[in-house]
Structure 1
Amino acid sequence: MKKLFLSCLFLLFFAVAQAVPAKSFYFTTSDSVKLYVRIAGEGKPCLFVHGGPGSWPKIYYALGGDVTEQDMTMIYLDQRGSGRSGGDDKTDYSLNRMVKDFEELREHLGYSKWLVMAHSFGGTQATEYAYQHPASINGVILVASTLHLKSSLESYIVEGARILNKPESEFRKEGASVGETLGKVVSQLNEQDLMYKVMYPKKEMFAQMNAVMDTTLNWHFGSKVWDLHEYEQDFTQKSASVKVPVLVVAGKYDYSVGPQHYRLFKFPKATYKTMATGHCPYQEQPEEFGKYVRKFVARLN
């Protein structure tokens, strides 16, 4: 009876020890912007850099990305002007300021080094961070990421026109910017309920993602970033100078950044994994995604 009791007690302790609850708090930057931070999981610390631009990290952890919390302590940061964080017309949204936010948060949490995982547009910011602060990072994970915004927008336009079964010339008007052209494509995709095809092979996945969105959140950065041309630079060129190990996970059917976009990357120590998914491999095939991340993290010092 005593042995049975001790066994049950051990199992109870083990279960409690495995269930580490997430914690959240606000971190104030050196220029007085309050940023929302959520920490969950156990293992090597990893900063998550969300995409959008201007979205929020719940898109990742609520749709299957939390599989990585089994192997890492995930630090989910709502970037300034995004999600639950502060940011308004007076806020500095420069790329250097974004990178400084990452570094200040690392110092605040007391990590000498951490991993950085980025999704979609976040790839540009994560690459710049690794370029500026290589001593702070022991690995980078890029998930369906763009490193050259114009290239990815072109993929969106080309595939959107194909889905609509219309010639690209119908959308490309002389003197129009890439953004204006994209806007016309997106408008028609929305009208015909075909937007999901740019991001996902399956429509239900798109519905799941939209269900996680929240229009009451702060979208200020997402509205201002298009006026900041530094985000338009070709970060694939800088990737050649990022010496830390990099895992690149790309979706075979991800036309929002381009299914072949990763071929432009020049990281010297990169591992590439192409999955039969669209823009959110962590949502579409979480077990396989988690396996690739786990294997990569296990190799790091």
Structure 2
Amino acid sequence: MKKLRFICVLLTLFALAHASQAVNKSFYFTTSDGVQLYVRMAGEGKPCLFIHGGPGSWTKYFYALGGDVVEQDMTMIYVDQRGCGRSSSSESKDYSLARVVQDFEELREHLGYNKWMLMPHSFGGTIATEYAYQHPKRVSAAIFVNSTLYLNDALESYVKNGARLLGKPESEFRKTGGSIGEALNGVASQLNQQGVMYKMMYPKKEMFDQMNAVMDTTINWDFGSKVWDFPEYTQDFTIKSASLKMPVLVISGNNDLSVGPEHYKLFKFKNATYRPMDTGHCPYQEQTALFHQHVKAFLAKVK
């Protein structure tokens, strides 16, 4: 009898140790319309879907530049969106917001999670807000990292702050009848010519260089080239944020000139904690320890 009890204890300990092991794997998931999505899972704890920005970038820039620190607290699910990074393109060129949201929902079902957290960065904020709006019962919490919820406001901020960096009046870039996109291109072109483009994202150029070193020029950029054919991405998602009730952590950068240092003040989440940081666009890279501290403190309060 004692031997049997000993064996049972060993089996229990083995099961607990196995259950607590961190996940570290990557695979391709096929969506219902045949797109191959690159998925990487790493870490341990509650599941959290990372939604990258760009639009059209990939997930590697986050976990390769310090963001992987959150894998100590959560099982991170990194997905290169359709037409992005290591994922395949859509044969029908369906890069609609509804289809991207469906991709994530199909993946959640495939992984067997009843709920998961969301962690969008930059442009990913628009997609995350729509996903939570469409599937509120599937989102336990969300961590918005320097996220855009209203693209037009972010673009206006970019033009304003870019012109200031160039020491020129905004009027020089805003032509009569011209679009905000044209003004943006004019500002970006001159910032690039003067070698100060990095200041829109980072206070320090070496951080910008680190980010560029992670980017791969061979990655799929189909989504990034087609996204503007779908006007739904430009809607004001702060309106939808007002109906979302899950716990939300909003991290922003006081020196983030690409989204706008005060962009987060437009958000209307009902249950939000705001943590502005003295960083640019990528707090996980610039102040990794403090970024992790804010995330851990938030997770401690999430059921």
Give 1:169's match in structure 2, choosing from 168, 171, 177: 171
- The one-letter amino acid of 1:160's match is G
Report the alpha carbon displacement of residue 259 of structure 1 after superposing the two structures with TM.
0.3
- Please point out which of 163, 176, 189 is paired with 2:191: 189
Please, which of 206, 209, 214 is the counterpart of residue 207 of structure 1?
A: 209
CA contact (8 A) 2:55 2:123 kept: yes
2:269 to 267, 270, 274: 267
Partner residue in 1 for 2:296: 294
Match of 1:132 in 2: 134
Distance between the aligned counterparts of 2:266 and 2:189, measured in 1? 29
2:45–2:75 Cα contact (<8 Å) kept: yes
> What corresponds to 1:32 in structure 2?
34
- Is 1:253 the counterpart of 2:255? The answer is yes
Q: Match for residue 8 of structure 2?
A: none
Take 2:124 and 2:29, find their aligned partners in 1: how far apart are those partners? 20
Residue 297 of structure 1 deviates from its aligned partner by: 1.3
The alpha carbon displacement at 1:17 in A equals 10
Query: What residue is the counterpart of 1:98 in the other structure?
Result: 100
Separation in 2, partners of 1:21, 1:75? 10
| Identity rate, percent | 68
Alignment of 1:30-179 (within 5 A): 30-88=32-90, 90-179=92-181
Q: 1:122-159 deviations in whole A, cap 9, x for unaligned?
A: 00000000011011010011000010001001111111
Structure 2 distance, partners of 1:24, 1:89, is 23
Q: Secondary structure at the match of 2:41?
A: strand
Alpha-carbon separation, structure 2, partners of 1:70 and 1:18: 12
Equivalent of residue 236 in structure 1, options 229, 238, 258? 238
- Count of residues in correspondence between the two structures: 287
Matches of 1:297 and 1:133 in 2, distance apart?
Answer: 21
Corresponding residue of 1:276: 278
Deviation at 1:18, TM superposition (A): 8.7
For structure 1, the 5+ residue unaligned runs are 1-15
Q: Which amino acid aligns with 2:181?
A: G
Which shifted more, 220-229 or 276-285? 220-229
SS at match of 1:24: strand
CA contact under 8 A between 2:35 and 2:90: conserved in structure 1? no
C-alpha distance in 2 between matches for 1:198 and 1:101: 31
Q: Please give the per-residue CA displacement for 1:60-113, whole angstroms capped at 9, x wherever unaligned.
A: 000000010000000000000100001146231111111111111000000010
Q: Distance in 2 between matches of 1:206 and 1:173?
A: 30
Shift of residue 22, structure 1, vs aligned partner: 2.2
Question: Quick one: distance in 2 between partners of 1:199 and 1:141?
Answer: 20
SS in 2 for 1:31: coil
Give the equivalent residue in structure 1 for 2:5.
Answer: none
Deviations 1:153-212 (A, max 9, x none): 111111111111111111111121111110111111111110011111111111111111
* Letter aligned with residue 129 of structure 2: T
Matched AA of 1:127: T
Amino acid across the alignment from 2:135: H
Residue type of the alignment partner of 2:32: S
Task: Tell me the distance in 1 between the aligned counterparts of 2:148 and 2:28.
Answer: 28
- TM-score for both structures, normalised by structure 1: 0.93
Q: Equivalent residues in 2 for 1:2-17 (5 A)?
A: none
Does the Cα contact within 8 Å between 2:23 and 2:44 map onto a contact in 1? Answer: no
How far did residue 228 of structure 1 move? 1.1
Structure 2: distance between partners of 1:264 and 1:206: 27
> What amino acid is the match of 1:278?
G
Q: Find the aligned partners of 1:17 and 1:299 in 2 and give their Cα distance.
A: 23
